[in-house]
Amino acid sequence: MANRLNEDFLRELREKNEISEVISPYVNLRRRGTTMNGLCPFHNEKTPSFTVYLDTQSFYCFGCGAGGDVITFIRRIENLGYIDAVKSLAQRAGMALPEDGFDDVISKRRRRILEANREAARFFHSSLMSEKGKICLDYYLSRGYSMATIRRFGMGYAPDDWRALYNHLHSLGYTPGELVDANLVRKSEKNGKVNYYDNFRNRAIIPIIDVRGNVVAFGGRVLDDSKPKYINTSDTLVYKKGSGVFALNLAKDSGERSLIITEGYMDTIALHQAGFKNTIACLGTALPDEQVNLISRYADEVLLAYDSDEAGQKAVRRAIQAFSKTGVKVRVLALSGGKDPDEIIKKYGPERFRSIVNGAANDVEYRLQSIRSRYNIMTDDGKVGFMREAVTVLAAISSEIERDVYINRLSSDLGISKDAITAQVKSVRKRSVRAKEAEEMRRIQASSFAPQGAASVSGSVGARRAEEALLANLMRSPSNYRKFSDKLSADIFLTEFGKAAFEALLPYLERGESPEYGQVIQSLDGEQAAILSKIINTKINTGNTAAECSDCIDKLIEEKAKSDVADPSALSDEDFKKLFNS
């Protein structure tokens, strides 16, 4: 495994990276006794369910189940491998990594991909400036990009050659496997012969750079009308499309806490050149939680500059929904005079786009305008239909003052009594509150003690609780293990999680020592680590006595016996036949 580092080193690493200090730049934490709470950075939520436990130096989210120690947090928040997360924390603490004692295979693969990507970016840019690249340079210049912009974004050209990039990188010592891992090269097999060829050919190339300055991927656009219009790097060890944000490495240094979001990198480049340095592009319009959370770290407000066509407006609605669960304000740009920002700037110049930015509607105004466009409010039926939908928008506004402003505006515009609109809004809000309370109760009941999402769970709820109580008992009172070591083994546990957790605890229990939670958690996979983190940090009702330990063991053994009988594969051939002859 890639996590066999010296325990003394890891203990010191965690001590020097106090978990709340590491998490605070990413999450606004508030202290409550021995815990700190905030909005989870791993999923969208309005009510804080992310908890940092200062006594165990760990975290757990009751909303999405994410949990672990400081290393787990850095791995997830920065999308790093285990060793890279350790290196990041070691650098933060001024510690040197041990010279040996760990397997660095994944970290080395990531590093080689990043190095290959950087060399590829240099190759593409150099090709652009060569005689062969003149066709692509003319294309960039025809779109209005200056040479300064081309250099700033590292724009390049993939030659019309099947193996130009492959031959160049291979000459620098990169293996075919490394280039396939980076998705710079593709592999084909035909008649027993293996061939490698470039992923990007005869395309304008845009490197995608993360906030740390690493070239993680590329976008390639055709120079004519052929299909597919765009080819992008597939997911690799260093890049996930769902978390990639183009030009955030530049926009985060713009000095503004608002970000303009476009549909594609060409629009973003055009806006940067026009002076809108706070522009980014989400690679895809789905806006998954990873992208939303990353953007939320750098912005208090986003302005959606999506295309004016139907696809763009669908993307606007999805984005409003995605950001509605964060504290980020949303405004929507009405792109009149052009289908996208690039076209508007080319036709009318930056000042026209600046006026559109200044007049952008907020998310409430945009939704009300969208609803209104579907009804003829000059008729009574139109007014009723519009108001039936509009009150759901108003009911979702948390600020009473803001709600009152919109109610007054609609009352005046439509000639409808303010009291009537207010009554309807209150009715919708009451139903919404009841629905949320019911959903919260279901969530709490579903998350109570039983492992979340563990497909391998078997047995009754009582037995599963006994399993977790037993683990909690052993962690808090390791001396109980010796009293029941003849009964205790991984085999008595009902879930794969229970087996794995017990085996991770066993070395400590055999020595009669309190477990090193951080090390134990790191030895489990993501879901198992989250479940164990929850057991550690929630106060499971146990007195940690030997009697309780014995009761839990007996319950598990009893349940195990039941499941063995219920499973035909556990019966002898003779007993199995009897089931059909009784």
| 291-304 pLDDT, tens digit each | 888 898 888 899 99
pLDDT of residue 541: 55
CA distance 552 to 60: 25
pLDDT of residue 457: 41
pLDDT of residue 539: 57
Whole-number Cα distances in Å, 485 to 53, 103, 466, 470, 506: 31, 33, 17, 13, 10
For 26, the 3-state DSSP assignment is coil
Q: How many CB atoms lie within 10 A of CB 339?
A: 12
Q: Which helix (H) or strand (E) holds 368?
A: helix 363-372
In degrees to the nearest 10, what's the CA dihedral of 406, 408, 410, 413? -140
- What are 514's two structure tokens? 């309190």
pLDDT of residue 579: 42
Mean local confidence (pLDDT), 326-344: 87
213: buried, middle or exposed (CB in 10 Å: 19+, 13-18, 0-12)?
Answer: exposed
Instruction: Report the relative pairing of strands 301-305 and 230-232 from DSSP bridges.
Output: unpaired
Using pLDDT thresholds of 50, 70 and 90, give the confidence band for residue 472.
confident
Q: Which residues make beta-bridge pairs with 260?
A: 279, 303
475: buried, middle or exposed (CB in 10 Å: 19+, 13-18, 0-12)?
Answer: buried
pLDDT tens profile 139-169: 999 999 999 999 999 999 999 999 999 999 9
Distance from CA of residue 552 to its chain's centroid? Answer: 37
pLDDT of residue 463: 73
Is the four-CA dihedral 254, 27, 528, 559 of positive or negative sign? negative
The per-residue pLDDT of the chain, averaged, comes to 85
pLDDT tens profile 245-261: 999 999 998 989 899 99
In degrees to the nearest 10, what's the CA dihedral of 40, 44, 45, 49? -20
- Three-state SS letters, 56-105: CCEEEECCCCCEECHHHHHHHHHCCCHHHHHHHHHHHHCCCCCCCCCCCH
Mean local confidence (pLDDT), 492-519: 84
pLDDT of residue 441: 54
CA distance 460 to 494: 10
pLDDT tens profile 517-570: 777 876 777 667 777 877 777 656 556 788 888 888 988 888 877 766 554 444
CB 54 within 8 A of CB 537: no
pTM above 0.85, yes or no: no
CB 158 within 8 A of CB 205: yes
Is residue 411's pLDDT more than 60? Answer: yes
CA distance 150 to 173: 28
- What are 3's two structure tokens? 């996590």
CA distance 189 to 197: 11
Lookup result for tokens 């792109």: 335
In degrees to the nearest 10, what's the CA dihedral of 376, 381, 387, 390? -50
Comparing 443 with 379, the larger pLDDT belongs to 379
pLDDT tens profile 349-381: 999 999 999 988 888 888 898 899 889 989 989
Residue 36, C-beta contacts closer than 8 angstroms, at least 6 positions apart: 20, 29, 30, 51, 52, 54
Q: Which domains does the chain have, with CATH numbers?
A: 7-93 (3.90.580.10), 106-239 (3.90.980.10), 245-363 (3.40.1360.10), 374-437 (no CATH), 461-570 (1.10.860.10)
∠ CA 61-66-71, nearest 5°, is: 115
Mean local confidence (pLDDT), 461-489: 85
Concatenated DSSP letters of 396-423:
T---HHHHHHHHHHHHHHHT--HHHHHH
